[in-house]
Structures are given as C-alpha cells and as structure tokens.
Amino acid sequence: MTGQGGRVAIVSGRGVLPALVAGALEAPFVCAMEGFPPEGIEPDMTFRVERLVPFLDHLRDSGIQTVVFAGAAQRPRLDPALFDAATAQLVPRLLPALQGGDDALLRAVIGVFEEWGLTVVGVDQVAPDLVPGAGVLAGTVSAADEKDAARAAAIVETLGPMDVGQGAVVAQGLCLAIEALPGTDAMLDFVATARPGLRLPPSARGLLYKAPKPGQDRRIDLPAIGPATVAKAAAAGLAGIAWAAGGALLLDRQATIAAAEAAGLFLWAREP
C-alpha cells in the first residue's frame, strides 16, 4: 500500500510491530519518537514531541499524506525549554487529553495530524494479516475457559467508557487483575506474584483477555499479543489468552503460536 502522495509514514514506538508493518508497505518512511526506538528496523528520522509542528510540516512538505502509528510508547517527559513557538501553542489543547486516558490522548493526537492534511490509517488497514479472524490458533478451549472469557469480556467492556485499559485476567469467574496505565506486562507480573496468596483451586487457571475499548478509534493502539505475552501468561499460571476476533494484533504469528504450544497455553480469537 502507498499513500496518495507516495510513501506511507510509520510513526513508530518500541517493539517489533513497526518492522512488521514496514514489511507490508512499499518504501515506508519510518519516524521514531525519541527514546522509543523500534526493533529490527532503522528509522529514517527521529522526532521529539516538543517539536511536533516542525515534524508535521516535514511530513507534509515531503508529500506524505498517509500515516500509520505502530509500536509501544509511554507518555514522554516533556522539556519546556525544547518547545518551538508553534508547538507550544498546541499545549493548551493537548493538556486535558494528557491528563486523561490513552484513548482521549490518542484521539487528540490523530486530530492534530489530520489538521495537517495527513490521513491516519490503522495497522489492520495496511497489514491485515496481523489481525486474525475468529478461531482457536493453539491449544484447546474448555467450557470453563469459555465462561472466564465471557466474564472478562464483560469486565473490559464495562470499564471501556472509563478509558482505563484493554485487558483483564479472570479465573473461575473471579477477576484477578485489570489492565491500567502500566500495561499488560505489569498486570501479568502482578498476577504471577499475587497468585500464590489467592488460594485458588488448582483447576482455576484462568486466562488473559484483551479487546479494544468500546467506541475506541481502531486506527491507533489496538491490543497486541506476541511471544512475550505468552511467556508472561505462562509465568502467571494461566491456561491461555483470548481476545476479540478482529480487534487485536498478533505479532510474529508463527513464533507466538509455537510459544503457546510449547507452554501448553491456548490462543483464541473469540467472536465478540
């Protein structure tokens, strides 16, 4: 895929996703936020949020009209001394979003990009193979797992309007953790640490469930599952990972499936 003006710009964060997206594009222009380098690909340029307007001007002046966001990035520490005058004028608009949830912030960022005439598209639009359809990709899903998944899906959907997170861990109907700002890895680390003290029955292994927030703009920040997620889920003693079919990215599909099979975990793209 190419943008109307030729190359597609990838605004990248950490992880392997930017390289996977680049592999699906013809000569993408990779732009990394300073401090959040992608894996397996060399950025064409690096930018700072404090100089967002010059960065957007550069994209527009280069004839780029299509942008896709890919990769993980935490909210950066901003240095007031580095702001240019034009970017500083955006701060009063973005500050309320910075103090809200991820979805509010990302919607505000998309809005700024669109003001520069840039079309923001989702990863699923440029690399659809990264978004599996419904089905079990590894292992076996039991009746108990189906009940836990339904319970977890209801929890994630209920919390969605609060713009808190995109995941939950449920075992035998009990919510062991919900995802918040620290992210999925931190949630699974908590479960691994706390589980011995919960005195759950041996049969209550449970699962990780991930899904976009209801009403979320799916052009940015889709949930992602990869080999590292499988390793964390296994360390937390879970039976598997489920997610909303068509609503999550499966990173390095073969490696993730192989890791799940080796760990005895199921992978399930669940029909919402």
pLDDT value at position 200? 84
Among all chains, which residue has been given the structure tokens 């836990």?
148
**What is the tens place of the pLDDT at every residue in 222-259?**
899 999 999 999 999 999 999 999 999 999 899 999 99
Write the CB contacts of 262 (distance below 8 Å, at least 6 apart in sequence).
none
pLDDT value at position 102? 64
The identity of residue 261, as a single letter, is E
CA distance 250 to 258: 13
3-state secondary structure of 77: coil
Chain centroid to CA 128: how far? 15
Mean pLDDT rounded to a whole number for the chain = 90
pLDDT value at position 99? 64
Q: Counting beta carbons within 10 angstroms of the beta carbon of residue 62, is it exposed (0 to 12), middle (13 to 18) or buried (19 or more)?
A: middle
Instruction: Judge contact between 169 and 206, C-beta under 8 A.
Output: yes
Comparing 86-95, 118-127, 248-257, 260-269, which segment has the lowest mean pLDDT? 86-95
**What is the tens place of the pLDDT at every residue in 34-73?**
989 999 999 999 999 899 999 999 999 999 999 999 988 7
Is residue 105 predicted with pLDDT exceeding 80? Answer: no
Is residue 2 predicted with pLDDT exceeding 60? Answer: no
Q: How is residue 98 written in tokens?
A: 């910075």
**What is the tens place of the pLDDT at every residue in 161-193?**
887 889 999 999 999 999 998 899 999 999 999
Place 93 in a pLDDT band, splitting at 50, 70 and 90.
confident
Compute the C-alpha angle 258/188/206, nearest 5°. 75
Among all chains, which residue has been given the structure tokens 């598209």?
121
> Hey, what domains does the chain have and what are their CATH numbers?
8-126 (3.40.50.20), 131-270 (3.40.140.80)
pLDDT value at position 80? 86
Can you name the residues that pair with 207 across neighbouring β-strands?
170, 240
Look up residue 91 and give its DSSP letter: H
| DSSP states along 217-261 | -TTS---EE-HHHHHHHHHTT-SEEEEETTSSEESSHHHHHHHHH
**What is the tens place of the pLDDT at every residue in 112-135?**
999 999 999 999 999 999 999 999
CB atoms within 10 A of CB 57: 13
Instruction: Judge contact between 49 and 36, C-beta under 8 A.
Output: no
What's the average model confidence in pLDDT over 89-108?
A: 74
Look up residue 6 and give its DSSP letter: B
